[in-house]
């Protein structure tokens, strides 16, 4: 079956354009990795040193800021298993159904008032997701039933820091039992410092989300250009690289 092949010079120009888009995608991937590492390092510092430069005190879990309190996890937050909802029972609506790895669909009824937090119970065990609005917590997830007066986003970040997947049980089908970690000791600051820590980390999350969106746009652009250039729907000489966000090489 014969195929249409552009002249060699145009082939080279097509390859150069696609290569430029691919390099832009790779640059966003590097930025995501670097910013994610920055967030990890900052989380470690904030959750061990706090935001106020306080002297440290020795505790059973190591040195923590003097004003922080060491409590058992169940005094910090109470987790509850979500409720089963099969896809056949989903009803048209705008309420997100929160599974172990995030939103798995939508329903017309919520069982948890936002803001709220889920932790993957089975499937993506230990995955933490924050929800601003009301949602249905699926039985593949645990949700925070009681924040015990703590800042909701701070709780989410702390759950992430704790790496709760460490407490999973079951070899063939790993699951997370909330009772396996409810007695572990943790150190927490007062509510105002919790808010400061959460807002600092949220700014980094917003930065990461922005980079991820740019990468997604570039990936869509790559697929579109690949199809249209290879089928001659558009010609490489007709492309405005500056308009596409790809400045011409000097």
Residues 102 and 158 in one domain: yes
Is residue 41 assigned to a domain?
A: yes
Write out pLDDT tens, residues 208-218: 999 999 999 99
Query: Count of CB atoms within 10 A of residue 31's CB?
Result: 17
Alpha-carbon dihedral sign for residues 73, 77, 81, 87: negative
Residues 138 and 28 in one domain: no
Query: How confident is residue 242, by pLDDT bands cut at 50, 70 and 90?
Result: low
Residues 124 and 230 in one domain: no
Residues 51 and 109 in one domain: no
Residues 112 and 158 in one domain: yes
Question: What number is the average pLDDT over the span 228-247?
Answer: 68
Is residue 130 assigned to a domain?
A: yes
Where among 144, 173, 188 does a domain terminate?
Answer: 188
Residues 154 and 196 in one domain: no
Where among 160, 188, 216 does a domain terminate?
Answer: 188
Is residue 131 assigned to a domain?
A: yes
Query: How confident is residue 172, by pLDDT bands cut at 50, 70 and 90?
Result: confident
Write out pLDDT tens, residues 176-196: 999 999 999 999 999 999 999
Where among 164, 188, 212 does a domain terminate?
Answer: 188
Judge contact between 36 and 204, C-beta under 8 A: no
Measure the CA angle with vertex 63, ends 129 and 187; round to 5°: 35
- Give me the number of domains the chain comprises: 2
Q: How far apart are CA 88 and CA 17, in angstroms?
A: 46
pLDDT at 238: 62
Structure tokens at 124: 């993506």
Residues 239 and 204 in one domain: yes
Residues 75 and 166 in one domain: yes
Q: Assign residue 187 a region (left: φ > 0; alpha: ψ between -120 and 50; beta: otherwise).
A: beta
Query: Has residue 164 got a pLDDT over 90?
Result: yes
pLDDT at 145: 97
Query: How confident is residue 231, by pLDDT bands cut at 50, 70 and 90?
Result: confident
> Which structural domain, as residue segments, surrounds residue 157?
69-188
Is residue 64 assigned to a domain?
A: no
Judge contact between 126 and 164, C-beta under 8 A: yes
Question: What number is the average pLDDT over the span 87-100?
Answer: 95
């Amino acid at each position: 079956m014969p195929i249409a092949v552009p002249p060699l010079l145009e082939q080279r120009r097509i390859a150069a354009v696609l290569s430029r888009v691919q390099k832009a995608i790779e640059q966003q991937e590097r930025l995501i990795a670097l910013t994610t590492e920055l967030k990890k390092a900052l989380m470690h510092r904030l959750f061990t040193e706090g935001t106020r430069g306080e002297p440290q005190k020795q505790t059973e879990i190591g040195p923590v800021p003097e004003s922080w309190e060491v409590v058992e996890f169940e005094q910090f937050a109470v987790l509850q298993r979500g409720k089963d909802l099969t896809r056949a029972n989903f009803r048209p609506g705008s309420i997100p159904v929160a599974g172990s790895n995030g939103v798995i669909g939508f329903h017309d009824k919520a069982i948890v008032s936002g803001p709220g937090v889920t932790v993957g119970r089975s499937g993506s065990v230990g995955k933490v997701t924050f929800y601003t609005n009301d949602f249905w917590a699926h039985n593949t997830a645990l949700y925070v039933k009681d924040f015990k007066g703590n800042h909701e986003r701070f709780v989410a970040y702390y759950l992430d820091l704790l790496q709760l997947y460490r407490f999973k049980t079951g070899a063939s089908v790993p699951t997370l039992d909330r009772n396996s970690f409810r007695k572990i000791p943790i150190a927490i600051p007062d509510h105002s410092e919790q808010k400061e820590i959460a807002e600092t980390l949220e700014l980094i999350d917003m930065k990461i989300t922005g980079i991820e969106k740019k990468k997604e746009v570039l990936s869509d652009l790559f697929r579109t250009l690949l199809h249209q250039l290879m089928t001659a729907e558009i010609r490489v000489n007709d492309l405005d690289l500056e308009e596409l966000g790809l400045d011409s090489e000097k």
